[in-house]
Amino acid sequence: MRGYNAVRIADPVHGTIGLSALELAVVDTQAFQRLRTVRQLGLAYLVFPGADYSRFEHSLGVCHITGRIFNSLAERGSYDARTVQLYRLAGLLHDIGHYPFSHLTEDAVVRFYHDRPGGALSHEMLGREVLRRDSELRSVLETAGFSPDEVASIFTHEAPALYENLISSDLDADRIDYLLRTASHTGLPYGSVDIDYLLAKTTIDASGKIALAPSAIRPADHFLLCRFFDYQQIPFYKTVIAFDHVYKAVLLSLFERGDLDCSASAITAMLGTEAWYRFDDVAIQGRLRALAIEPLAEPVRSMVRALVERRPPRLVAEYEVLLCRERSTREEFTAKRTMLRALIPRLAAGFGVPEEQFFVWDHVSELTKTPHLISSYESGQSGEQSIRILDLATGLSEPIMEHPRSLMSILSNYALYALRLYALLPEDEDGLHEGIRNEVRGALPFMHPVVPD
């Protein structure tokens, strides 16, 4: 596509990424350069050495993939240059508001501040505020004829976007780059999907929705399966989750003590200043290293040292079952989680480990946004974020899980229900770990023994 060759960037995933003069000006702002030191995968690099790529390179990739999608669509219709540039900007800037260590810090912020003075901002809403309040970035956009709110509304979903499922769906530019880039950096095979074919088969249906030609059903199924396995093996890997829980517990302690203020009011006051440009992974790591040599009270001291010394909590027991997505299953899962959490005081008292050093992880992993057989508790969800398959007879499209030739017509009705119990124990703890594990299995037979690597 002409106009996107002001600079060409060598990229390990896409080969070469071309940027327009406007996109280059955006990339050169301090707000965007900050993303170089915000890791995409949080603490996963402590387990997978190559999983240390940044939001900076990912954002370039999302911009590039957005352009490739429009290139494919242009073969089936015309799109004015401004529309293409607007969506490429939204792809480039969709992560501009991420906190240090990405979703880890965001999760802790939302949990702590959502009902407190000052409030909490998701990274999308914080991104909108960055575009509004950072004078350098705002000037670049406005000089080119784009308002900050116009760009932000696409990735915040505050206003219906014409091609919303290009930016947020089961197969969007964000997820495509994430899957390819994570596979490239970790050395794991879950990004081995036929992206070129999927992009070539991208089209627009008669109602204006982005869809895939019917011949792309199997590559689309494969993409969703690869994404599912990627999540299980990397961000949800047992040791990654162990570090995640300790990190968030330390942050919550810092918030509680007033040592770190990440309320919406405090964060927005930083925007457009050096304080925000330096609020990144490096700053948080420095804070943790400083804390590690301070005379902290337990259990915070043990948790900080666990992060700095790379000594994760031990996985004690787990529950992992693939079950149908329906109300009764969800209710049973919730009951199991409640029983597991209720056991922690007994374990703490019996084994002399502070309750704060036990962590419960629960997650329901789905293959698609919406199941085929939508049950009553999910009836409010729509299939608008699903991959859509074109009906050649009508010119309209339907969600992939409603297509009888798709694996998702069956698999979308299932989810992986997972519970894990972790314990941060002293270094010489083999007997303690075994004792806690036996106690859990005796009290809660549904919890499984830990599967060795």
pLDDT tens, position by position, 251-306: 999 999 999 999 999 999 999 999 999 999 999 999 999 999 988 888 999 999 99
pLDDT at 370: 65
CA distance 303 to 301: 5
User: Would you say residue 54 has pLDDT above 90?
Assistant: yes
pLDDT at 2: 66
**43 falls in which pLDDT band (50, 70, 90)?**
very high
Is 338 inside any structural domain?
yes
**38 falls in which pLDDT band (50, 70, 90)?**
very high
pLDDT at 375: 38
Is 239 inside any structural domain?
no
DSSP letters spanning 94-122: TTTTPPTTTHHHHHHHHHHHTTSTT----
pLDDT at 159: 66
CA distance 43 to 240: 7
* Structural domain boundaries enclosing 17: 7-188
Is 225 inside any structural domain?
no
Residue 397: strand, helix, or coil: strand
pLDDT at 209: 85
88's tokens: 């490429």
CA distance 193 to 224: 10
Q: Does 245 or 451 have the greater pLDDT score? A: 245
Task: Read off the pLDDT of each residue in 196-211 and give the average, rounded to a whole number.
Answer: 91
Is 386 inside any structural domain?
no
User: Would you say residue 439 has pLDDT above 70?
Assistant: yes
Percentage of the residues of the chain whose pLDDT score is greater than 90: 82
Q: Does 69 or 1 have the greater pLDDT score? A: 69
The reply to whether the predicted model has a pTM over 0.85 is: yes
Domain boundary among 173, 188, 203: 188
For 164, other C-beta atoms within 10 Å of its C-beta total: 18
pLDDT at 378: 43
Is 373 inside any structural domain?
no
pLDDT at 380: 39
Q: What does the pLDDT look like over 413-428, one tens digit per residue?
A: 999 999 999 999 988 7
Asked if 3 and 23 touch (Cβ cutoff 8 Å), the reply is no
User: Would you say residue 369 has pLDDT above 80?
Assistant: no
**346 falls in which pLDDT band (50, 70, 90)?**
very high
Task: Read off the pLDDT of each residue in 293-320 and give the average, rounded to a whole number.
Answer: 94
DSSP code of residue 297: P
Mean pLDDT score of the chain: 92
Is 55 inside any structural domain?
yes
**372 falls in which pLDDT band (50, 70, 90)?**
low
pLDDT at 74: 84
Percentage of the residues of the chain whose pLDDT score is greater than 70: 94
pLDDT at 249: 97
What are the angstrom distances between the C-alpha of 453 and each of 45, 51, 149, 233, 238? Answer: 18, 19, 47, 11, 10
Domain boundary among 166, 188, 210: 188
pLDDT at 207: 87
Task: Read off the pLDDT of each residue in 196-215 and give the average, rounded to a whole number.
Answer: 92
pLDDT at 382: 47
Site of tokens 């939001």: 55
- Report cis status (omega within 30 of 0) of the bond before 299: yes
Is 380 inside any structural domain?
no
Please name the helix (run of DSSP H) or strand (run of DSSP E) that holds residue 293, with its range, or none.
Answer: none
**364 falls in which pLDDT band (50, 70, 90)?**
very high
Residues 17 and 150 in one domain: yes
CATH code of 105's domain: 1.10.3210.10
346's tokens: 């007994």
**384 falls in which pLDDT band (50, 70, 90)?**
low
Is 129 inside any structural domain?
yes
Q: What does the pLDDT look like over 150-170, one tens digit per residue?
A: 999 999 887 666 776 777 778
Dihedral pair phi/psi, residue 141, rounded to 5°:
-65, -50
CATH code of 344's domain: 3.30.300
CA distance 359 to 336: 15
pLDDT at 31: 98
Domain count, the chain: 2
Domain boundary among 188, 217, 239: 188
pLDDT at 233: 96
User: Would you say residue 451 has pLDDT above 80?
Assistant: no
Among residues 224, 215, 240, 197, which one has the least CA distance to residue 359? 240
